[in-house]
């Protein structure tokens, strides 16, 4: 059986371990997660291992990125299984602080990002989200002092927000992005896929199919606005409520009108039953 990785739960224990990695001159990588690990997370850990000798995986369900009506209380928690897969991958350290450790009594500081965080995508539907993400990611980076930190392209706007945060605050870390890992039918892997009923799960791959179809048509010169209208209608016909289907500049996330304004990223968010899914592809 694989050796259980060391799990630390206090900032002082984390600092001692990070200091040991640093004393051994080992490059450190951080993979921030909220647990409920799936193959997408494991791809992040493998990417981290290719770039650093010591890999820290943080597992922390961050309450500040959930609005009161969202799924904080029911967010999937599979800590024992997470530790087992991280042990099999030979992860060096797991940083698993409690909410009280991350946000002690009197905690009163928030990072409120702009730029990509106010692009009118996730932020339009989850206005609290990116301040929660930016604050916790900044804390994780300061706590773990990694040389690289690894994020998935699945949360594309988050990736751009974190990249901007690191540049703006001069944090000495390189942000690495990893392509989305998909099920065989194209559905992007996500912890929240666990909420889907059998019939919703059968419909869910429509999101990726529509994205891929739209990307193909735009690449062949079709009118962006018309392609998106038709794509959105196809998503709603399949039973989703569409939050957005947008073509944005892949770096700035600014709206684009023609393929010449690119590089283009297509981003979608839609709800089916109680589950909200997001996905994106490049054109």
User: Would you name the residues annotated as active-site residues?
Assistant: 41
137 is a contact residue toward ligand PAF (CB under 6 A): yes
Q: Report 9-48 residues binding ligand PAF (CB under 6 A).
A: 32-34
Yes or no: say if 264 and 200 are a contact pair by the CB < 8 Å rule: no
From 129-137, 164-172, 197-205, 215-223, give the range in contact with ligand PAF by CB under 6 A. Answer: 129-137
In whole angstroms, the minimum distance from the beta carbon of 151 to ligand PAF comes to 7
Residue 280 and residue 180: Cα distance in Å, rounded? 9
136 is a contact residue toward ligand PAF (CB under 6 A): yes
Phi/psi at 209 (5° precision): -60, -45
Residue nearer to ligand PAF on the CB measure, 177 or 259:
177
Residue 68 and residue 81: Cα distance in Å, rounded? 28
In whole angstroms, the minimum distance from the beta carbon of 282 to ligand PAF comes to 19
Beta strands in the chain (DSSP E): 6-8, 28-33, 54-59, 93-95, 148-152, 174-178, 241-249, 264-272, 275-282
Contacts of 196 (CB under 8 A, 6+ apart): 204, 272, 273, 275
Residue nearer to ligand PAF on the CB measure, 49 or 158:
158
Residue nearer to ligand PAF on the CB measure, 32 or 232:
32
Q: How many residues does the chain have?
A: 283
Residue 266 and residue 282: Cα distance in Å, rounded? 6
Residue nearer to ligand PAF on the CB measure, 155 or 243:
155
144 is a contact residue toward ligand PAF (CB under 6 A): no
62 is a contact residue toward ligand PAF (CB under 6 A): yes
Burial of 226 (0-12, 13-18, 19+ CB in 10 A): exposed
279 is a contact residue toward ligand PAF (CB under 6 A): no
Residue 36 and residue 16: Cα distance in Å, rounded? 27
In whole angstroms, the minimum distance from the beta carbon of 268 to ligand PAF comes to 17
Q: What residues pair up with 227 in beta bridges, in sequence order?
A: none
In whole angstroms, the minimum distance from the beta carbon of 35 to ligand PAF comes to 9
- Considering only 36, 85, 133, 204, the residue that binds ligand PAF (CB under 6 A) is 133
In whole angstroms, the minimum distance from the beta carbon of 218 to ligand PAF comes to 27
Other CB atoms within 10 A of residue 203 CB: 17
- Considering only 122, 153, 155, 246, the residue that binds ligand PAF (CB under 6 A) is 155
Residue numbers at the binding site for ligand PAF (CB under 6 A): 32-34, 62, 65, 133, 136-137, 155, 158
């Amino acid at each position: 059986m694989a050796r259980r990785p060391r799990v630390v739960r206090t900032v002082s224990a984390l600092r001692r371990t990070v200091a040991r990695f640093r004393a051994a001159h080992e490059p450190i990588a951080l993979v921030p997660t909220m647990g409920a690990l799936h193959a997408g997370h494991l791809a992040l850990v493998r990417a981290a291992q290719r770039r650093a000798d010591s890999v820290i995986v943080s597992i922390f369900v961050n309450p500040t990125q959930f609005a009161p009506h969202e799924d904080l209380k029911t967010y999937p928690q599979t800590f024992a299984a997470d530790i087992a897969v991280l042990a099999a991958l030979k992860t060096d350290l797991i940083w698993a602080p409690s909410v009280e450790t991350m946000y002690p009594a009197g905690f009163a500081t928030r990072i409120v990002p702009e730029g990509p965080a106010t692009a009118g995508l996730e932020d339009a539907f989850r206005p609290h989200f990116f301040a929660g993400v930016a604050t916790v990611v900044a804390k994780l980076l300061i706590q773990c002092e990694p040389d690289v930190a690894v994020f998935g392209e699945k949360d594309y706007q988050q990736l751009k927000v974190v990249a901007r945060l690191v540049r703006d605050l001069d944090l000495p870390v390189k942000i690495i992005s990893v392509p989305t890992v998909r099920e065989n039918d194209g559905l992007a892997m996500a912890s929240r896929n666990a909420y889907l009923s059998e019939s919703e799960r059968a419909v869910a791959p429509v999101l990726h199919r529509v994205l891929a179809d739209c990307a193909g048509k735009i690449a062949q010169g079709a009118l962006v606005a018309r392609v998106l209208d038709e794509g959105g209608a196809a998503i709603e016909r399949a039973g989703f409520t569409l939050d957005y289907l947008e073509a944005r500049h892949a770096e700035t996330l600014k709206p684009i009108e023609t393929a010449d304004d690119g590089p283009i990223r297509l981003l979608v968010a839609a709800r089916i039953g109680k589950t909200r899914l997001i996905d994106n592809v490049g054109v």
